[in-house]
């Protein structure tokens, strides 16, 4: 039936998945609890909210990662998550519980408490609607307006990794003539590595600004940054890491990898005198990084911000 879950089902399939236990969460999600009560430490409260609309498999893990990434880009440790699940009747309680298990596992790994949210069944949609709101505390005041003329553009990760993992998980038929089964499974595993939180924790002491490129990929992210900051970029395109698998897929499926959704990458604006130390700390933590250019005044914005994933996912299914 459409509407809220019955109390016994809600308790078993949703409220038992609370992520990490945190002493600062005084009252979390529970029956007859309308809101969470959290003891806030000193600092600035960071809040970010994102849905998952392009992925079906691993959607719970993605929900945690993309929201945690946004909070981390403001220099905060992700602490508390609010989850909203609107699930089609056809998916049933099994779909609710699958998503909550993924959320619980990912939050537990990252020290994040599931503080509450809302869950219901609907007959209005054929696909689940899931959204998260993440909270954290920071002492930093990162803003796109803090970018300085001459700041270097440092990135971690590789272009299109989130989009590639979504295609491999949800539309493997598109990859069937490009990759063998082991290669497809490897690309699927990229969904386990979409967190930029470790890199952001290192770079927050060096950066003027950090950003997680999602829809539109790195081109879309740079377009947004330039439009907001009033700066342009001198881009060294050959320095942008693109995995060999992504290059092969882009050639065969005819898409631009720099416009493919790219959570798991981190873009940071770093003063030139801090870049060496920043990259050294990343390397010591086992995180690869690349300098792909610099922000400059007086340069024209030239990036195309469209997202490639939606057109790829809408293509006809290949016959086996």
Tell me the per-residue pLDDT of 11-54, one tens digit each, with 9 for 90 and over.
989 989 999 999 999 999 888 888 999 999 899 999 999 998 87
What confidence score (pLDDT) does residue 2 get?
75
What burial class does residue 141 get, using C-beta atoms within 10 Å of its C-beta: 0-12 exposed, 13-18 middle, 19+ buried?
exposed
Model confidence pLDDT, tens digit, residues 199-212 = 999 999 999 999 99
Mean pLDDT of the chain: 93
What confidence score (pLDDT) does residue 305 get?
85
Q: How confident is the model at residue 186 (pLDDT cuts 50, 70, 90)?
A: very high
More confident residue, 31 or 219: 219
Burial 7-31 (b: 16+ CB within 10 A, else e): eeebeebbbebbbbebeebeebbee
CA-closest candidate to residue 249, choices 168, 199, 178? 178
Q: How confident is the model at residue 90 (pLDDT cuts 50, 70, 90)?
A: confident
Q: Is 215 helix (H, G, I), strand (E, B) or coil?
A: coil
* Torsions phi, psi for 213 (to 5 deg): -75, 115
What confidence score (pLDDT) does residue 303 get?
80
Model confidence pLDDT, tens digit, residues 237-248 = 999 999 999 999
Q: How confident is the model at residue 55 (pLDDT cuts 50, 70, 90)?
A: confident
CA–CA gap between residue 103 and residue 101 (Å, rounded): 5
Q: What is the percent of the chain where pLDDT is above 70?
A: 98
Q: How confident is the model at residue 319 (pLDDT cuts 50, 70, 90)?
A: very low
Model confidence pLDDT, tens digit, residues 261-274 = 999 999 999 999 99
What confidence score (pLDDT) does residue 320 get?
47
Longest dimension (CA), the chain: 61
CA–CA gap between residue 197 and residue 266 (Å, rounded): 9
**Is the separation of the CB atoms in 282 and 157 below 8 Å?**
no
Q: Are strands 77-88 and 37-38 parallel, antiparallel or unpaired?
A: unpaired
Give the mean pLDDT of 102-121.
Answer: 96
* Torsions phi, psi for 262 (to 5 deg): -140, 35
């Amino acid at each position: 039936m459409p509407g809220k879950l019955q109390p016994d089902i809600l308790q078993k399939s949703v409220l038992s998945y609370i992520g990490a236990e945190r002493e600062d969460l005084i009252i979390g999600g529970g029956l007859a609890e309308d809101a969470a009560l959290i003891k806030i430490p000193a600092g600035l409260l960071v809040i970010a909210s994102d849905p998952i609309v392009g992925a079906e498999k691993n959607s719970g893990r993605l929900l945690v990662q993309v929201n945690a990434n946004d909070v981390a880009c403001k220099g905060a440790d992700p602490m508390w998550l609010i989850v909203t699940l609107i699930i089609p009747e056809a998916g049933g309680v099994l779909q609710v519980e699958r998503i909550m298990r993924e959320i619980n596992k990912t939050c537990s790994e990252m020290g994040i408490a599931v503080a509450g949210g809302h869950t219901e069944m609907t007959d209005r949609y054929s696909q689940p609607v899931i959204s998260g709101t993440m909270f954290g505390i920071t002492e930093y005041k990162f803003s796109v307006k803090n970018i300085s003329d001459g700041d270097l553009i440092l990135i971690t990760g590789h272009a299109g990794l989130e989009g590639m993992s979504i295609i491999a998980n949800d539309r493997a038929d598109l990859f069937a003539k490009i990759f063998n089964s082991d290669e497809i499974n490897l690309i699927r595993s990229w969904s386990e590595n979409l967190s930029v939180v470790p890199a952001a924790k290192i770079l927050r002491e060096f950066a003027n600004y950090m950003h997680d490129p999602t829809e539109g990929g790195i081109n879309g992210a740079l377009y947004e940054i330039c439009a907001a900051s009033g700066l342009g970029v001198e881009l060294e395109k050959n320095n942008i890491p693109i995995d060999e698998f992504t290059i092969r897929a882009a050639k065969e499926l005819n898409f631009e990898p720099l416009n493919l959704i790219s959570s798991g990458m981190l873009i940071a604006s770093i003063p030139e005198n801090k870049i060496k130390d920043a990259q050294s700390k990343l390397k010591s933590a086992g995180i690869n990084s690349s300098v792909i250019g610099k922000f400059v005044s007086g340069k024209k914005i030239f990036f195309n911000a469209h997202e490639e994933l939606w057109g790829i996912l809408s293509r006809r299914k290949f016959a086996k």
